[in-house]
Chain A
Amino acid sequence: MLRYLVTRVGTMLGILVVVSIGLFSLIHAAPGDPVSAMISPEELGNSEAFVKARTHELGLDRPVVEQYVAWLGRAIQGDLGESFRNNGRPVLGLLLERLGPTMELVFTAVIGSVVFSLALGVFAASRKNRPADYLVSGGTLLFMSVPAFFLGMLAMYLFAFQLQLLPSTGMASPGDGGAADLASHLVLPAGVLAVAETAKLTRYVRAGMLEELGADYVRTALAKGASLRRARRHALRNTLLPLITLLVVGIPELLGGTVVVEILFSWPGMGQLTIDAITYHDYPLIIGFGVLATILVLLSNFLGDFLYRLADPRVRLR
């Protein structure tokens, strides 16, 4: 067990280093630089001296390898540098500040999608080939094809504008930070985020249930007089296991989806911060975000493996 943990953590660190090197090289190889990005095009001609001074100040004129090593040294100690924009605030602080809202969104979306996909999947499986089943199957295909931001716009238009039922943007209304207010702000973005995932999971649950219900052990149980309900429960338990893996594997995609949803709903999460950073070549922030995102993905993979091991003792740890 210990050996497994050590190897695992080692691999994760290795991947982190590789990703950081990759990002670092790419960013520095790309055209454009952060200092020029901060000056309007007209001023650029007059500001040569300023550009030079600032570049030196930020250490951008040193060889790339040296810059990377310097960054790595600080990173190991937990210091991810300072953002070029945002008044030079520490990168780590900025990211952590935005992490909370993003995690709220992701968490809600995951829970919502699991609950709904289980309900819908089981329902569709139990009504196989009847109109209800076709409705669910067709619906899942539909919601997998609609881009998240368009769905969000439609939802916004319907619920926030036409029906005036839910707030359209942001995380909290001015002057009110209560739980109910938060919940109402959370519904649309988390819902939109969850839709595609729910559709995907529902298809799986339905297929999984059908497969299990046709299996020998179910047949035996029914022959022995077990109720259909009992059999369904057993089938469901067996479909849960791969569901976990599917869910975990879908987390990176979900994270990508949050970027779009956050921008649409002006949700104060990491998405907006990152897009800004990318547009303005804010190197430390971009790399910091890359590292953080990689950590999240690695952690969720690790968690997924762990849960799977818990659920099915036959699985051996590598």
Chain B
Amino acid sequence: MAWRRFRHNRGAMAGLVVLGVIVLIVLVAPLFVPYTPTAVDPNHVREGLSAAHWLGTDDTGRDTLARLLAGGQVSLLVGFAAAASALVIGTTLGIVSGRAGGWLDLLITRITELFMAIPSILVVIVLAGVVGPSIGLLITLIALFTWPSCCRIARSVVLKVRELEYVQAAHAAGTVWWRILLRHLLPNVLPQVMVSGTLLVAIAILSEASLSYLGLGVTPPAASWGNMLMEVRSFGKLASQPWLWVPPGVAISLTTLSVVFIGDGLRDALDPKAASS
């Protein structure tokens, strides 16, 4: 039923479609582009849009479209992986915290608060720069600072559900703990966490873009949407070769926007009373 409400939200459906298209293109299109993202071609340097290179080339003749697609794969991978990790860790800890209570709950809550108190962006910048750029590290770092919000949500849902009569009845009747988990806790926790999860994807994609832009994330010659923007730091290039930086920027924005719309739609679908617009 929530799905039906979701379907009526035009923004959310549009977001879903656009995201789907982006993911599809990024995965499939490289098969059709005749260039690899790192192929250097000194004969076609700094060219604008043309039939041979749909999005032009850069300083060393690398095809922009190929880089855009490859970059998309990396950026989306980091984004989804980081968000998924944060979701899994956060939800698990949240459920454990809510169910267990006592010192374990207290410990996990304190840790969550600690992580939320640290100014994440600054720390991520320092850490990413200090330890050196790598995709695995990037995913870990981003996940490290986004799991607390999931944990909080999961925990509060568990605390609420735990008090419900039918759950207490099931417990009294002697149902195995994992059965309660599966049939009662998870179905209530998952939807709420998913909403937060979509926001996490948006945050993760933007974080990866920012870090790569600063040179602390994915480094050239590998492509990522963020570092494609980094390579256009000088004002001259910015002005004269817009095809180098506009496509990746638009790609990041469009992807993030779709994800945000989906998240909004999910939230409104799950709790129509909280619909904001």
Residues of A within 8 A of B (CB): 15, 19, 23, 26-27, 30-32, 129, 133-134, 137-138, 141-142, 144-150, 153-154, 156-157, 160-161, 168-169, 203, 207, 252-253, 255-257, 259-260, 263-264, 274-275, 278-279, 281, 286, 289-290, 293-294, 297
Contact = CB atoms under 8 A, between A and B. Distances in A.
Interface stretch (B81-89, B183-191, B202-210): B202-210
A26 B131 CA distance: 8
B126 A23 contact: yes
B210 A147 contact: yes
Contacts of A142: 253, 257
9 contacts: A141-B264, A146-B253, A161-B238, A256-B120, A259-B214, A260-B210, A278-B125, A278-B130, A281-B130
Contact of B256 (A145, A252, A253): A145
Nearest to A162: B239
Contacts, number: 127
A153 B249 contact: yes
B132 interface: yes
Most buried by A among B119, B132, B213, B257: B119
Interface in B216-240: 216, 226, 229, 232-233, 235, 238-239
Tell me what chain A mostly uses at the interface: helix, strand, loop, or mixed.
Answer: helix
B243 interface: no
A278 B133 CA distance: 12
A32 B126 CA distance: 14
B215 interface: yes
B144 interface: no
Given A255-B122, A290-B126, A145 B202 contact: yes
A252 B249 contact: no
A171 B47 CA distance: 33
A149 B229 contact: yes
Interface in B121-179: 121-122, 125-127, 129-132
B235 A169 contact: yes
Contact of A156 (B129, B132, B235): B235
B260 A144 contact: yes
Contacts of A160: 235
3 nearest A-B residue pairs (beta carbon): A256-B121, A278-B129, A252-B119
Most buried by B among A253, A255, A256, A263: A256
B260 to A, nearest CB: 6
B261 interface: yes
A167 B213 CA distance: 22
B213 to A, nearest CB: 5
A275 B257 CA distance: 28
Contacts of A252: 119-122
A145 B257 contact: yes
Contact of B121 (A149, A253, A289): A253
Interface of B: 11, 117-122, 125-127, 129-132, 202, 206, 209-210, 213-216, 226, 229, 232-233, 235, 238-239, 242, 245-246, 249, 252-253, 256-257, 260-261, 264, 276-277
Given A31-B132, A278-B126, A145 B277 contact: no
A26 B118 CA distance: 15
A6 B86 CA distance: 36
B238 A275 contact: no
Contacts of B239: 157, 161
Nearest to B121: A256
Given A146-B253, A275-B129, 9 more contacts: A26-B126, A30-B131, A134-B277, A137-B276, A146-B257, A157-B239, A263-B214, A275-B214, A297-B122
Contacts of B126: 23, 26, 274, 278, 286, 289-290
B102 to A, nearest CB: 24
B131 A31 contact: yes
Contacts of A156: 235, 238
Contacts of B209: 147
A154 B249 CA distance: 9
A149 B129 contact: no
Contact of A147 (B117, B132, B249, B264): B249
A147 B277 contact: no
A150 B277 contact: no
Most buried by B among A19, A253, A260: A260
A263 B213 CA distance: 10
B40 to A, nearest CB: 22
B140 to A, nearest CB: 14
A157 B247 CA distance: 14
B125 A256 contact: yes
A32 B133 CA distance: 13
Contacts of B246: 154
A259 B125 contact: yes
Most buried by A among B202, B235, B257, B276: B235
Contacts of A260: 210, 213-214
B122 A150 contact: no
Nearest to A265: B235
A30 B131 CA distance: 5
B206 to A, nearest CB: 6
Nearest to B274: A207
Most buried by A among B120, B202, B253: B253
Contact of A275 (B132, B202, B215, B276): B215
Contacts of A148: 210
A48 to B, nearest CB: 23
